[in-house]
Amino acid sequence: MIKHLNKFPLQKLLLIVIAFMLVACERDDICPESTPTTPRLLVEFYDSADPETIKSVLGFTVYGEGLYDPNAQNPDTSKLLVNNANTSAVALPLIIGEDGEQTTTRYIFERDSNTDNNNIDILEITYTTTLEFVSRACGFKAIFTDLQVEIVDDEDNWMNTTGFSEGNVNAITVENEADAHVFIFH
């Protein structure tokens, strides 16, 4: 009889613990795909002789400075954003710096890659990161303010000039991927 009484409180305690766990559970917070997150910098290429005409870059390869070594014995092509493609646009992820901190990101743009006539230019992008709270599930997203671009002069540039989608301005804010942000004329 005593053994039977000792089992009952243990079963009751186990039942209470399980009930508490079920009540204490909360739904998973999942960030919906439709929620805008940190945008990439959208770049489109145009013909410098006819600035209204989109012009593809042939044999185009893009990678972040210091992330890929084309001269390595076995180069890791997974580090390339674009690999020897014909394209008129590219989406560039930017480094997310500290909130309010100015950051510079440099990308290597290679035209006619995998040929003897290849030409490498460097695009330097300077901006200030602003962090904006989206939600508990999604966390923060970065907005890039005071963004400026510069083609580093190497005396053999295939990229001629740059422009912004917002017209004749010196800097822009990148907060979404709705439209191209930067135009490069070549």
Flag whether pLDDT at 21 surpasses 80.
Answer: no
Per-residue pLDDT reduced to its tens digit, 139-178: 999 999 999 999 999 989 999 999 998 777 889 999 999 8
pLDDT at 2: 53
- As a whole number, mean pLDDT of residues 31-55 equals 93
Which DSSP letter does residue 54 get? B
Helix (H) or strand (E) segment spanning residue 42: strand 41-46
**What percent of the chain lies above the pLDDT cut of 90?**
61
Length of the chain: 186
Flag whether pLDDT at 179 surpasses 70.
Answer: yes
Which DSSP letter does residue 6 get? H
How far apart, in whole angstroms, are the C-alpha atoms of residue 170 and residue 149? 9
As given in the structure block, the two tokens for residue 100 are 């309010």
Q: Where are the domains positioned within the chain?
A: 41-70+77-185
Flag whether pLDDT at 15 surpasses 90.
Answer: no
- As a whole number, mean pLDDT of residues 4-32 equals 68
